[in-house]
Structure 1
Amino acid sequence: MKAPLVQELTPPPTVPTALRQVADAAPVLLESVSRPGRLGRYSFLTADATDLPLGTGDEPFAPLRSLLDRNKAPAIAGLPPFQGGAVGLLGYEFGGHFERLPAPEAGEVWREIGIPPVASVLLADWLIAWDHDIGRAWAISTGITRNEAPSATRAQQRLDGALARLARPPQPAPEARRSSPWPASVGPEIAPGVRSPFTRAEYEAAVAETVELICAGDIFQANLSQPLLTTFDGSAVDLYERVRQANPAPFAGLFPLGGGGEGDDGGEGGDGGFDVVSASPERFLSVAVNPETGAAEVEARPIKGTRRRKASPTLDLWVGDELRQSGKDRAENVMIVDLLRNDLSRVCAPGSVRAPALCELERYETVAHLVSEVRGTLRPDEDRWSLLAAAFPCGSITGAPKVRAMEIIHDLEPAARGPYCGSLFWAGRDGSLDANVLIRTVTRHRATGRCVVPVGGGITARSDPAAEYEETLHKAAATLRAFDASSEPLS
């Protein structure tokens, strides 16, 4: 079979309700919570998904390309664009497949809980898809498997299973295990319940060293981050719901990374895996396939430039105007636009790469950002996988030139980034793709409840170390509220 089975859900369930109904089956959610319109239109939920293999060396996507090409099918018009295929998470260090980079060092943070898998991809053979603009939702089942031809029988079984789950009451959260606090050895406490491997003085010194490298002509820009460490006693779904409420975002998500999902403690000696919760405002890459011409249109939306929003509408307008007029922030944004134009040009048709939007202001729950848009058309001999290989990780969270900036990040940051600054994505059977940048992201160790919440910012020649440190705290404020932690870490 090629076309999936589709059943509209009337009335459509809310995303939080449906998530609770599949909470015991390792759910994967890619949700648009805010930004109504093109960027906040669709959400997708699946569960009980099968692991898919990745390749080795410089062809990690070869098995995914083979599987989805073997099950290729056009998208059904009028439905949300993702109608089954693959969902996955690529950690920041996955970039080592494409560039020669220093081996990541776990640091004290990951030695405490074990470093997460660098990548995981799952088969989304069924899903619930929402179109928030028109208030409709559908259950979609493809019948595809990892190794066999699509089966109508399997498609019906999986659809029936999904509908049965949606017919039951939302599942109560499992009884919360008390989390295990982070030891003092990982770093000082900078707010009640929040530690960091960086003291303020150490982070500012790292910023100053980066500025010196920029002034010496070594790089133009680097993105420097610090991991904030806290704990959470509830389930992954509990944490997602709290982050969702505190910081609604258009590229949010929940992904189980290893260990089999909630309730799996990993057995004797196991670590139980991780859960990744993201409230990302940033699209990394999207690929939309024109059904008539087959042309694959690419979009990237880099974010660079941040200000903390004000409660007063008048002051908030002033903050936005100041950000728009900031020479430092605009330069930072334009440098990343140039980097992404270069990355896209490696796989896009000559003359097709352009930047139709530059340094536009967007407001989110606690911060305002400058956002640009870069577009291109893939060459006929390239696809979404070669695009990911050409551009991963996103230049907005590395710096420019990318490889040298990543070497500096390796030298100055106290731990491997793990999922942070990687990407959560879906890949459809028609060649389409949508991938976020994993910022505003929590990596939760399932067995201990310990959470890693990294935050960072772009450093340029005009950067002030004290201001850059404060910017990381502003970016973390909304996410930290989900933990009942202070949104104002100590200086």
Structure 2
Amino acid sequence: MSIFTGVVPDPPGVPALCRGRLVEVDRLEWRVGDGGDPAALAAAFAAKHTGPHEAGRCGVAVLLSAAAGAAMIGGASGAPTPAPAVPDLALVAYGHGPERPRPALGAFEVGPWKASWPAADHAKAVVAVQEAIARGQVYVANVVGHRSAPWKGDAAALAAAVAAVPGSTWGGVLAGEDWLVASGSPECFLTIEGDRAATYPVKGTAPATIEGRTELLESVKERAEHVMIVDLGRNDLAQVAVPGTVAVERLFGLNRWADLWQAESTVTARLEPGTDLAGILRAMCPPGSVTGTPKLAVLDLVGGLEPVGRGPAMGAFGFATADALRLGVTIRTVALDSGRAHLWAGGGITWRSDPETEVAEAEAKARAVTGALAA
């Protein structure tokens, strides 16, 4: 029996009516190299399995890696993933079953963690991005590091600890035969209700103190980084929006995740009639807040800088129903295979970035997750 059998499948974005009642009825797993268009595969699978609740259908869990998002737009997929057991696209269709109690959680252990690159190499990658900015190749680019650790024990308990990090409004879990992804994400990537679409980019980080809040609000670098990503979100939505309907409803508001302040904006639009899921995914993926701009140039740049791939991190994770789509960004996300836990963390690099500060920021983001697992 798989070590992941029995993990309660509660992806982010599941309607309240369905929580605790999900019963898997079908599954599709796709990896880079399998051939085919992941956006078209996702659209066809969702069309087949979303329908009225009265018919016993709940919806489809969607897990989409950074590499799958890049494939949708013809971008570079980067280095190979360090967690190849995890698919680049996982779609799981659910029906309604009887409500069931949560199983008791057991014990688990994780650690010690080993980084895929030393801090000095991370800092060098930051400098390389700044050199690309000087050449006019990119404006802002995310650089992401990876670490892994041995783990043992109750996978469900480990996943629950990740999803319960304070501020994880887009936390959730999905598992396969030999893999599990647990997200403690604070970032909503995309919501669609009827013809209204919205994206909520998170960019800008500071310690969750009074001083940190003031520093973040007054930082020229953090605000510039944030506004460039908001503009990218506006451009992405405009590809599938009724002209003139893209609007920024909230700009640079602060939310708390674990021990950090994060800046978030809200960009909305009205979708063009007839826009399908494949078109939406191609317009929006991979998430702009964890790539940078211009997307294709950034994917090409960071793919040559990061020593390992991003796996299921820096992608999208959520739930599709007949009348809605709700996806979070897979930041603060852990992937499990049979032997190791994998975690990614990074940040946006601009001309004003300080390499050592950027490395420290990535460490702070990772530390909130590793700390929850140690506790």
Compute the TM-score of the two structures, normalised by the length of structure 1.
0.69
Q: 1:481 to 1:47 in 2, by over 3 A?
A: farther
Q: How far 1:115 moved relative to its partner?
A: 5.0
The answer to whether residue 46 in structure 2 is matched with residue 60 in structure 1 is no
SS at 2:171 equivalent: strand
RMSD (CA atoms)? 2.8
Distance in 1 (alpha carbons) for counterparts of 2:373 and 2:219: 33
**Residue 441 of structure 1 corresponds to which residue in structure 2?**
333
Gaps of 5+ in 1: 1-22, 33-39, 77-82, 127-158, 182-192, 260-272, 290-295, 310-315, 486-491
**Residue 224 of structure 1 corresponds to which residue in structure 2?**
143
Distance in 2 (alpha carbons) for counterparts of 1:421 and 1:28: 20
Residue identity opposite 2:169 in structure 1: P
Residue identity opposite 1:170 in structure 2: P
**Residue 451 of structure 1 corresponds to which residue in structure 2?**
341
**Residue 284 of structure 1 corresponds to which residue in structure 2?**
189
Match of 1:476 among 353, 366, 374: 366
SS at 2:314 equivalent: coil
Q: How far 1:64 moved relative to its partner?
A: 4.7
| Equivalent pairs, count | 367
Q: How far 1:200 moved relative to its partner?
A: 1.2
SS at 1:125 equivalent: strand
**Residue 197 of structure 2 corresponds to which residue in structure 1?**
298
Distance in 1 (alpha carbons) for counterparts of 2:131 and 2:45: 47
The answer to whether residue 150 in structure 2 is matched with residue 209 in structure 1 is no
Deviations 1:17-39 (A, max 9, x none): xxxxxx8434321358xxxxxxx
Distance in 2 (alpha carbons) for counterparts of 1:101 and 1:63: 18
For the 8 Å contact 1:280–1:439, the answer to whether it is kept is yes
For the 8 Å contact 1:31–1:44, the answer to whether it is kept is no
Q: 1:43 to 1:454 in 2, by over 3 A?
A: farther
**Residue 353 of structure 1 corresponds to which residue in structure 2?**
246
The answer to whether residue 68 in structure 2 is matched with residue 94 in structure 1 is yes
Q: How far 1:247 moved relative to its partner?
A: 3.7
Q: How far 1:49 moved relative to its partner?
A: 4.4
Q: 1:318 to 1:434 in 2, by over 3 A?
A: same
The answer to whether residue 237 in structure 2 is matched with residue 344 in structure 1 is yes
Match of 2:27 among 26, 37, 51: 51
Distance in 2 (alpha carbons) for counterparts of 1:99 and 1:478: 32
Distance in 1 (alpha carbons) for counterparts of 2:137 and 2:17: 42
For the 8 Å contact 1:115–1:418, the answer to whether it is kept is no
Distance in 1 (alpha carbons) for counterparts of 2:10 and 2:172: 5
Aligned 1:44-443 pairs, distance under 5 A: 44-45=19-20, 46-52=22-28, 59-66=37-44, 68-69=46-47, 73=51, 84-106=58-80, 110=82, 114-126=84-96, 159=97, 162-163=98-99, 165-166=100-101, 170-171=103-104, 173=106, 193-256=112-175, 258-259=176-177, 273-289=178-194, 296-309=195-208, 316-430=209-323, 432-443=324-335
Compute the TM-score of the two structures, normalised by the length of structure 2.
0.89
Distance in 2 (alpha carbons) for counterparts of 1:428 and 1:479: 30
Distance in 1 (alpha carbons) for counterparts of 2:225 and 2:18: 31
Gaps of 5+ in 2: none
Distance in 2 (alpha carbons) for counterparts of 1:217 and 1:64: 35
For the 8 Å contact 2:181–2:335, the answer to whether it is kept is yes
Q: 1:352 to 1:172 in 2, by over 3 A?
A: closer
Q: 1:30 to 1:467 in 2, by over 3 A?
A: same
Q: 1:104 to 1:327 in 2, by over 3 A?
A: closer
Query: Percent identity at matched positions?
Result: 29
Distance in 2 (alpha carbons) for counterparts of 1:429 and 1:350: 25
**Residue 133 of structure 1 corresponds to which residue in structure 2?**
none
After TM superposition, the structure 1 stretch with the greater mean CA deviation from structure 2, 194-203 or 43-52, is 43-52
After TM superposition, the structure 1 stretch with the greater mean CA deviation from structure 2, 473-482 or 244-253, is 244-253
Q: How far 1:410 moved relative to its partner?
A: 0.3
